[in-house]
Amino acid sequence: MTDTIILLPDHIANQIAAGEVIQRPASAVKELLENAVDAGATDITLIVNDAGKSLVQVIDNGSGMSETDARMCFERHATSKIKKIDDLFHIRTMGFRGEALASIAAVAQVQLKTKRAEDEHGMLLEIENSTVTLQEPVAWPKGTSIAMKNLFFNVPARRNFLKSNAVEMRHIIDEFTRVALAFPEIKFELHANGVPTFQLESGSLKQRIVQLLGNNLQAKLVGVKEDTDYLNIYGFTGKPETSKKTRGDQYFFVNNRFIKSAYLNHAVKSAYQQLIPDDSFPLYVLFIELDPNQIDVNVHPTKQEIKFEDEKIIYAFVQAAVKHALAQYSITPTLDFDLDAGIQQLPSIQQPFTENKKQEAASGKIFQGFTQKNQAHFIERPDKSAIDSWSAFQAPLPAMPATDNDTYIAPELQLPETQSSSGAPETDPIQIARTYILIPDVNGFYLVAQQLAHERILYEKYLSASLGKPIVSQQIMYPVTLNFSAADALLLREVLPDLQQLGFNIEHFGSTTFLINGSPADLKDNEPQQTIDFLLEQYKHFNPQLKISRHEKLIRSMARQQSVKSGTMLTHKEMKQLITDLWNCHQKQLSPDGKNIFLQVDKQWLEQLFQK
């Protein structure tokens, strides 16, 4: 037997390792933006073409690199940010693993231009397959530009794994949003396919949030700020009406690093208990600052997960800080830091910090909240009708189920289908629990789910409109401006042509702003912002695995959005109309998502039931 083990050549080893760091264009966006931030830039421009597949370029006015550093930076484990393992626990920079540029250089063609303030001229470097192919002086202002071209040009299998431009672009916007939120003092620009998409001037955190997540948030953010010995929390949390059915705008930053933490999300959500429906998610942008030695940032290659020395205490602080903020704005009825008993027993809470700081800490609001249960001050309950009105606004839509394919699921009808009614049942309908319509029939009865029935009716109406004549659009007297988060704005731009077909006349008006000039003539409630928000929410709810067209998703969303909801009282006339319309549908048994719309019960079945 011959020996079989070989040492992989560098460029292959690098390509393999790159898989961890660079999965898609957005990964490069994150790494390059973070490098620019680490280099002390005050002005950073991101350029992407073809959703980053052909180009991701970041230009900064930061420190620049020396000639040697410019060559070195593409080596694996080349970093200027740590020198020894201990440094990991004092990290203040975004990067430290020295892997990003090496990974990028292994899977794309790279062009680097860089110059330090003290150098006479800049350096141009081109790299392909981890090898420098060109190096020459170049005229360049202070700072660095790194262009990543044709990602995965040499790993076609991975290139095939990339998603559509729309999907990849959304990932890019997500990463851009995260970095831009963390550094509002830095000016950021994003150009996509030559079009300036974002231009974020340096400003306050609040301004940055509004610029990125939507102008409509201006008056809907509540400031959060708690300083303690152990950690500081600051940022903004949304008033209850900003909560959404999809987990979208939830941002946690620990020492300015965006992290994903289901545990901390839960802490915030729990602070909203009884303020928002259980199945919706609050919006927030929260920053936690604590001594870097209390966290381990090196538990994940892209550093989006970190480990806290004491996770429970962070949970408790976050929850208390958000509760406190909501209480101060009279959003929660009372301020009772009703902490989990387990958390109250934690030594860090029982014996705060150092003895000499104890006095000081014990007088702090947040500490009192932890230790003196029921010492909360009472804040007047907000106007009940205000709460009701937004919960009504929130309540109507149950989550949309995910189905595996785009065709109808064959119904598992429990009941025999003996009746051959060609027309709608004739007798008088009765509403049950404001949700179902009971229709007696000579041979039994039908029980129709009103919302599902209406969804089916609208769905078929919109479907035929989209295939043939567009739905009539009614001009709005005064066009209304609409504002969205960056991600929603992108989504909306994608679906504008389809919306046009459905009777919405909406124009993109620059970055996240749109102008609505007309809406479908028979639109149920004419609150354009709400209508479109709902529509996008519904749209996003579809399981991404679901292979149905954008158009189909939109029609289903719109049908659901416009349908008369369960819980709505219907008049006799309305019920009759609904039943007639349903019976005129192509497919009257199943809702657009494949749920049974009605139950048909006949005498035989009833007799079996009663064992006659």
Between 103 and 505, name the residue whose CB sits nearer to ligand ADP.
Answer: 103
Rounded to the nearest whole angstrom, what is the least distance from the CB of residue 47 to Mg ion in the complex?
18
Which of Mg ion, ligand ADP, none does residue 144 bind to, with CB < 5 to 8 Å depending on kind? ligand ADP
Output the residue with the shortest Cβ distance to ligand ADP.
Answer: 95
What are 430's strand-pairing partners? Answer: 438
Binding partner of 62, given ligand ADP, Mg ion, none, CB within 5-8 angstroms per partner class: ligand ADP
Residue 600: alpha-carbon gap to chain centroid: 41
Nearer to ligand ADP, 79 or 483 (CB): 79
Considering CB distances under 5 to 8 angstroms, the limit depending on partner class, which of ligand ADP, Mg ion, none binds residue 98?
A: ligand ADP
Site string for Mg ion, 27-56 (x = CB under 5 A): --------x---------------------
Residue 446 is inside which H or E element, if any? strand 444-449
Phi, psi of 532 (to 5 degrees): -70, -40
Nearer to ligand ADP, 65 or 482 (CB): 65
d(CA 254, CA 343): 21
Closest approach, Cβ 30 to Mg ion, in A, equals 9
Residue 436 phi, psi dihedral angles, 5° rounding: -120, 150
> Residue 409's binding partner, choosing from ligand ADP, Mg ion, none, with beta-carbon cut-off 5 to 8 A by kind?
none
Q: Which is nearer to ligand ADP, 73 or 536 (CB)?
A: 73
Looking at beta carbons only, is 100 or 387 nearer to ligand ADP? 100
Q: How far is the CB of 155 from ligand ADP (least distance, A)?
A: 19
Q: How far is CA 129 from CA 10, 11, 13, 133, 344, in A?
A: 10, 6, 11, 9, 56
Q: What is the spatial distance between Cα 600 and Cα 481, in angstroms, rounded to a whole number?
A: 47
Pick between residue 62 and residue 369 the one whose CB is nearest to ligand ADP: 62
Binding interface with ligand ADP (CB under 6 A): 31, 35-36, 38-39, 60, 62-65, 73, 78-81, 95-102, 144
In whole angstroms, what is the distance from residue 194 CA to residue 53 CA? 14
Q: Look at residue 79 and give the partner it binds from ligand ADP, Mg ion, none, a contact being a CB closer than 5 to 8 Å depending on partner kind.
A: ligand ADP
Site string for Mg ion, 160-199 (x = CB under 5 A): ----------------------------------------
Task: Answer with the entry of ligand ADP, Mg ion, none that 396 interacts with (C-beta below 5 to 8 A by kind).
Answer: none
Query: Of ligand ADP, Mg ion, none, which one does residue 39 interact with (CB within 5 to 8 Å by kind)?
Result: ligand ADP
Nearest approach in angstroms of CB 294 to ligand ADP is 21
25 binds, among ligand ADP, Mg ion, none (CB under 5 to 8 A by kind): none
Smallest separation, CB 98 to ligand ADP (Å): 4
Nearest-angstrom CA–CA distance, 36 and 44: 7
| Total residues at interface with Mg ion (CB under 5 A) | 3
Nearest approach, Cβ of residue 34 and ligand ADP (Å): 7
Residue closer to Mg ion (CB basis): 125 or 318: 125
| Strands of the 284-290 sheet, one edge to the other | 221-227, 231-238, 284-290, 250-254, 257-259
**Which residue, among 259, 209, 269, has the nearest Cα to 235 in the 3D structure?**
209
95-124: which residues touch Mg ion (CB under 5 A)?
95, 100
β-partners of residue 237 are 222, 284
Q: Which of 95, 518 has the CB closer to ligand ADP?
A: 95
Q: Which residue from 87, 326, 358 is spatially nearest to 230, judged by alpha carbons?
A: 358
First-residue to last-residue Cα distance in the chain = 81
Q: How far is the CB of 95 from Mg ion (least distance, A)?
A: 3
23 or 391: whose CB is closer to ligand ADP?
23
DSSP H helices, 196-250, are 205-213
For the bound state, the minimum distance from the C-beta of residue 178 to ligand ADP, rounded and expressed in Å, comes to: 16
State the helix-helix crossing angle for 165-182 and 205-213, rounded to 10 degrees.
170
Q: How far is the CB of 31 from Mg ion (least distance, A)?
A: 5
Which is nearer to ligand ADP, 31 or 175 (by Cβ)?
Answer: 31
Sheet containing strand 444-449, edge to edge, reads 430-432, 436-441, 444-449, 598-602
CB of 81 to Mg ion, least distance (A): 8
Reduce the DSSP state of residue 516 to 3 states and report it: strand
**Alpha carbons 135 and 63: distance in angstroms, whole number:** 20
User: Contact region for Mg ion (CB under 5 A) — 13-21, 70-78, 88-96, 369-377?
Assistant: 88-96
Q: How far is CA 332 from CA 219, 268, 382, in A?
A: 17, 13, 8
| Residue 408 exposed, middle or buried by CB count within 10 Å (0-12, 13-18, 19+) | middle
CB of 113 to ligand ADP, least distance (A): 10
Q: Is 417 exposed, middle or buried (0-12, 13-18, 19+ CB in 10 A)?
A: exposed
- Contact predicate 233/287, CB 8 Å: yes
Q: Which does 206 bind (CB under 5 to 8 A by kind): ligand ADP, Mg ion, none?
A: none
Q: Is 519 in the site for Mg ion (CB under 5 A)?
A: no
Helix (H, G, I), strand (E, B) or coil at 476: strand
Q: Closer CB to ligand ADP, residue 73 or residue 590?
A: 73
Return the number of the residue (101 or 366) whose C-beta is nearest Mg ion. Answer: 101
Q: How far is the CB of 71 from ligand ADP (least distance, A)?
A: 10
Residue 247 structure tokens: 């987990």
- Can you give the binding site for Mg ion, defined by CB under 5 A? 35, 95, 100
